Amino acid sequence: MPSEQSILSRLWQTSDEDSQLRLQTIVRLRWLGVLGQLAAIAVVALVLEFRLPVGWCLFLTACSAWLNVFLAVRFPARHRLSARLATELLAYDILQLAALLYFTGGVQNPFTMLLVVPVTVSAATLPPRNTIILALMAAAAAILLTMIYRPLPWYPSQPLEHPFLYDLGIVTAVISTMLFMALYARRLTRESKLMSAALTATELVLAREQKLHALDGLAAAAAHELGTPLSTIVLVTKEMQAGLPKDSALAEDVELLRQQALRCREILQKLTQHPTEQDPLHGTISLQEMLEEAAAPYMSDGKPIHIFVHPASGTSGTMQDQPLAARRPGVLYGLGNLIENAVDFSQGRVDLTGEWDQSLVSVTLTDDGPGFAPEIIDSLGEPYVTSRPSGTRKSPSKAGGLGLGFFIAKTLLERSGARVSLENRQAPQSGAIVRLVWPREAFEAGAERSGPGTALPRPQVRSAPVEVYDR
Q: Give the pLDDT of residue 459.
A: 34
Q: What is the mean pLDDT of residues 136-149?
A: 94
With a CB cutoff of 8 Å and minimum separation 6, the contacts of 247 are none
Tally of CA atoms within 13 A in the half-sphere of 124 that contains its CB: 18
**Dihedral, CA of residue 442, residue 445, residue 450 and residue 451, to nearest 10:** -160
Q: Give the pLDDT of residue 173.
A: 94
Band of pLDDT at residue 456, cut at 50, 70 and 90: very low
How far is residue 82's CA from residue 442's CA, in Å, rounded to a whole number? 48
Lowest-confidence segment of 97-106, 107-116, 398-407 by average pLDDT: 398-407
- 3-class state of residue 309 by DSSP: strand
Burial class (CB in 10 A: 0-12, 13-18, 19+), 32: exposed
Q: What is the mean pLDDT of residues 160-175?
A: 89
How far is residue 108's CA from residue 106's CA, in Å, rounded to a whole number? 5
Lowest-confidence segment of 88-97, 174-183, 253-262 by average pLDDT: 253-262
Domain ranges of the chain: 18-162, 283-443
Measured from the Cβ of residue 468, the count of other Cβ atoms closer than 10 Å reads 18
CA distances from 64 to 100, 259, 291 (A): 12, 83, 65
Q: What is the mean pLDDT of residues 260-285?
A: 65
Closest to 465 in 3D by CA, of 352, 298, 367: 352
pLDDT tens string 178-202: 999 999 988 888 777 777 766 676 6
Q: What is the mean pLDDT of residues 111-121?
A: 93
pTM confidence score: 0.52
Q: What is the mean pLDDT of residues 133-149?
A: 94
Task: Locate all alpha helices (DSSP H) within 280-362, ordered by sequence.
Answer: 287-295, 329-345
Q: Give the pLDDT of residue 177.
A: 93
Q: How far apart are the first and last CA of the chain?
A: 35
What is the average pLDDT value for the chain, to the nearest integer? Answer: 79
Instruction: Please answer whether residues 101 and 112 qualify as being in contact, where contact means their C-beta atoms are separated by less than 8 angstroms.
Output: yes
Closest to 399 in 3D by CA, of 3, 2, 81: 3
pLDDT of residue 212 exceeding 60, the answer is no
How far is residue 257's CA from residue 222's CA, in Å, rounded to a whole number? 20
How far is residue 369's CA from residue 389's CA, in Å, rounded to a whole number? 15
Lowest-confidence segment of 86-90, 192-196, 270-274, 352-356 by average pLDDT: 270-274
Q: Give the pLDDT of residue 107.
A: 92
- Angle 326-328-333 (CA atoms, 0-180°, nearest 5)? 145
pLDDT tens string 337-351: 899 888 888 888 899
One-letter identity of residue 262: L
- Angle 345-347-350 (CA atoms, 0-180°, nearest 5)? 75
pLDDT of residue 402 exceeding 50, the answer is no
pLDDT of residue 438 exceeding 90, the answer is yes
Q: Give the pLDDT of residue 132.
A: 94
- Judge if the upstream peptide bond of residue 428 is cis by omega within 30 degrees of 0: yes
pLDDT tens string 29-86: 999 999 999 999 999 999 988 888 999 999 999 999 999 999 989 888 778 888 899 9
Q: Give the pLDDT of residue 403.
A: 57
pLDDT of residue 319 exceeding 80, the answer is no
Assign domain 283-443 to its CATH superfamily. Histidine kinase-like ATPase, C-terminal domain (3.30.565.10)
Closest to 341 in 3D by CA, of 293, 289, 380: 380
- 3-class state of residue 394 by DSSP: coil
Instruction: Please answer whether residues 282 and 455 qualify as being in contact, where contact means their C-beta atoms are separated by less than 8 angstroms.
Output: yes
Band of pLDDT at residue 145, cut at 50, 70 and 90: very high
Instruction: Please answer whether residues 124 and 185 qualify as being in contact, where contact means their C-beta atoms are separated by less than 8 angstroms.
Output: yes
Q: What is the mean pLDDT of residues 148-157?
A: 88
pLDDT of residue 278 exceeding 60, the answer is no
Q: What is the mean pLDDT of residues 294-309?
A: 86
pLDDT of residue 400 exceeding 50, the answer is no
Top-confidence residue, 1 or 307: 307
Closest to 53 in 3D by CA, of 101, 111, 110: 101
Burial class (CB in 10 A: 0-12, 13-18, 19+), 448: middle
One-letter identity of residue 388: R
- Largest Cα separation within the chain, whole Å, is 130
How far is residue 49's CA from residue 37's CA, in Å, rounded to a whole number? 16
